[in-house]
Amino acid sequence: MNSRNYDICPECDLLIDLAQPKIGEKIHCPRCDLLLLRPRKQSIERTFAYSIAGFILFFPANFLPLVGITLLGNVNTGILMSGVIALFTIKMWPVSIVVFLASILFPLVHISLSLLISGHLYFNHPNRNLVRWMRWMHHLDEWVMLEVYMLSIIVACVKLMAISPLELGWGLYAFISLIIITTLISSSLDKPLFWQRIEHLAKVNPHVR
Amino acid sequence: MYAKMNALKQGFIRCHDCGYLVKIIHQLTTCPRCDSHLHERKPHSLERTTALLLSSFFLFIPANIFPIMTVSQFGAGDAHTIAGGIIELIDSGMIPIGLLVLIASIVVPLSKLIGMSLLILSVHFRWKINARRWTKIYRVIAFIGRWSMLDIFMISILVDLVDFRGVHIIAGPAAIAFAAVVILTMFAAENFDPRLLWDNQ
């Protein structure tokens, strides 16, 4: 029995006899309805392109001011990192670390990994770290919380509007674009395909491993 | 259609990380494709989930009774608990935002705690449940967990921006407890193996 033609649902452990799905098709588990496969058009090329864009956008989103408020003639602007530092200085370092990881470090690592992986696959360049990077990216998926942060900005703005005029900075537009890009990356990145390609690359270039 | 049987009973293990299929007869301990450890089910799933869930239950109490944020204006401090902040938002007419915070900071963590407890109990006591329905409930729980971080991020933004001579915002001890609840419940959901629901069928 060739195990390639079979798949197992990760959430209900059903052994499924899968036909190779066409692009645009969605394959759900017949027993628990989990989305199993969703092949995308030009998955590697698009992921690579989005990752480059995301990596570039990461910097303006982090270093340009997001929102500014004015109170009693004083202006205060905030970036992602200044919130982390503010929490740190009032001795809330556990919270500060959590915010730093979920809104700055993990997004950066996640985008860098998807850039590295899709880049290597795009240029058919074997690398023995590809497997490790894929696993790291897989485990980071849940901890990249940019869109949650965006919602927090909205709620904070509504609260602050009551006490002071707001100024939206260029960083905010970069930040919104970054969220759109990360969403595009996760929808174009076809994990089963990536794993197949990595396995294939390792097979054709056995000396690299 | 292939017989609707658990893959494990037919001698297959799926790699947790890359989805590779391995035959049990080969007695491999690591995945031939991605080198991660192979397990029939997530290791010690029930014990780990229970431990993480109990910790978050206990931390949920200080998270709700201590102030999460203190607004100090010219020396006078005004401490808010999570519920107090929501009531104030609704009182001042910001009902949609108030509801949003209510859902993210109270409804989501609470339904996560209850839902995960029911999942653990139903596996442990082998309750006759609708595995399909509960797998879907599990999926929703795992998806919504991260949105509870809303309050934590909001505090970091407010503490940073509202920092003027005379007026500033300070985070309270509940912030640490609440962040811990969110993270621990996320780990709890990650450690729970929904396939255990199907093994009892």
Q: What angle do CA A69, A73, A75 make, to 5 degrees?
A: 35
**CA-CA distance, B58 to B94, in Å (whole number)?**
31
Query: Does B74 lie at the interface with A, CB-CB under 8 angstroms?
Result: no
Contacts of A93 (CB under 8 A, 6+ apart): A87
**How much is the pLDDT for A2?**
42
Tell me the Cα Rg of chain B.
Answer: 22
Secondary structure of residue A27 in the 3-state scheme: strand
pLDDT of res. A120: 95
**Are B71 and B158 within 8 A, CB to CB?**
no
The answer to whether the Cβ–Cβ distance between B14 and A8 falls below 8 Å is yes
Smallest Cα distance from B166 to chain A, Å: 10
Give which of A48, A188, A55, A149 is closest to A111, Cα–Cα.
A55
CB–CB contact A8 B12 (8 Å) = yes
User: Is the CB of B1 less than 8 angstroms away from the CB of A135?
Assistant: no
* Mutation target among A9, A13, A197 for the B interface, most CBs of B within 10 A: A13
The closest CB to that of A69, out of B153, B159, B161, belongs to: B161
Angstrom distances, CA of residue B168 to CA of A50, A77, A126 = 40, 14, 54
CB of A40 closer than 8 Å to CB of A49 = no
CA proximity to B15, closest of A192, A137, A118: A192
Whether residue B34 and residue A134 make contact (CB cut-off 8 A), yes or no, is: yes
pLDDT digit string (tens) for chain B, length 201 residues: 444 678 888 888 999 888 888 888 888 889 988 888 998 889 999 999 999 999 999 999 999 999 998 888 887 778 889 999 899 888 888 888 899 999 999 999 999 999 999 999 999 998 888 889 999 999 999 999 999 999 999 999 999 998 887 788 889 999 999 999 999 999 999 999 999 998 877
DSSP H helical segments within chain B, as ranges?
A: 45-65, 82-91, 95-102, 108-124, 131-144, 150-161, 173-191, 195-199
CB of A38 within 8 A of CB of A29?
no
Between CA A170 and CA B130 the distance in angstroms is 50
Q: Who's near B170: CB < 8 A, 6+ residues apart?
A: A90, B69, B70, B72, B159
Q: Is residue B82 within 8 angstroms of chain A, CB to CB? A: no
DSSP A64-81: S--EEEEETTEEEEE-HH
For the four alpha carbons of A62, A64, A69 and A70, in that order, the dihedral sign comes to positive
Residue by residue, pLDDT tens for chain A (209 residues) are 344 568 889 998 888 887 777 888 888 888 888 988 888 889 999 999 999 999 999 999 999 999 998 877 778 888 999 999 999 998 899 999 999 999 999 999 999 999 999 999 999 998 889 999 999 999 999 999 999 999 999 999 988 888 888 889 899 999 999 999 999 999 999 998 999 999 999 888 887 65
**HSE-up of A50 (CA within 13 Å, CB side)?**
25
To test the contact with chain B by mutation, choose from A75, A99, A152, A193 the residue with the greatest count of B C-beta atoms within 10 A, namely A152
- The answer to whether B181 and B53 have CB atoms below 8 angstroms apart is no
Give the whole-angstrom CA distance, residue B100 versus residue A161: 17
List B13's β-bridge partners, or say none.
B22
**In this complex, do B154 and A156 lie within 8 Å of one another by their Cβ atoms?**
yes
Question: A35 phi and psi, to 5 degrees?
Answer: -70, 115
What letter represents residue A121's amino acid? L
Are the C-beta atoms of B70 and B77 separated by less than 8 Å? Answer: yes
Whether B159 and A78 lie within 8 Å, measured CB to CB? no
Q: Is A165:A88 a contact under the CB 8 Å cutoff?
A: no
Non-local (6+) Cβ contacts of B74 within 8 A are B166, B167
- Quote the tokens at residue A166: 């707001």
The pTM (predicted TM-score) of the whole model is 0.91
Task: Report yes or no for ipTM above 0.95.
Answer: no
Instruction: Pick the residue of B72, B161, B162, B193 with the most A CBs within 10 A to test the interface with A by mutation.
Output: B161
Strand pairing report for B167-171 and B69-73: antiparallel
CB contact under 8 A, B158 and A159: yes
3-state secondary structure of B79: strand
Q: What is the pLDDT of residue A180?
A: 96
Tokens 């494990």 identify what position? B8
Q: Of A71, A148, A160, which is closest to B147 when you measure between CB atoms? A: A148
| Residues in chain A within 8 Å Cβ distance of B155 | 87, 95
The 8-class DSSP code of residue A101 comes to I
- Pairing verdict, β A35-37 and A15-17: unpaired
**CA–CA distances in Å: residue B109 to residues A112, A145, B104, B149:** 31, 17, 7, 10
Instruction: With CA atoms as reference, report the closest residue to A69 among A205, A202, A161, A171.
Output: A161
Q: Which of A165, A155, A76, A82 is nearest to B161 (CA)?
A: A76
CB pairs under 8 A between A and B: 205
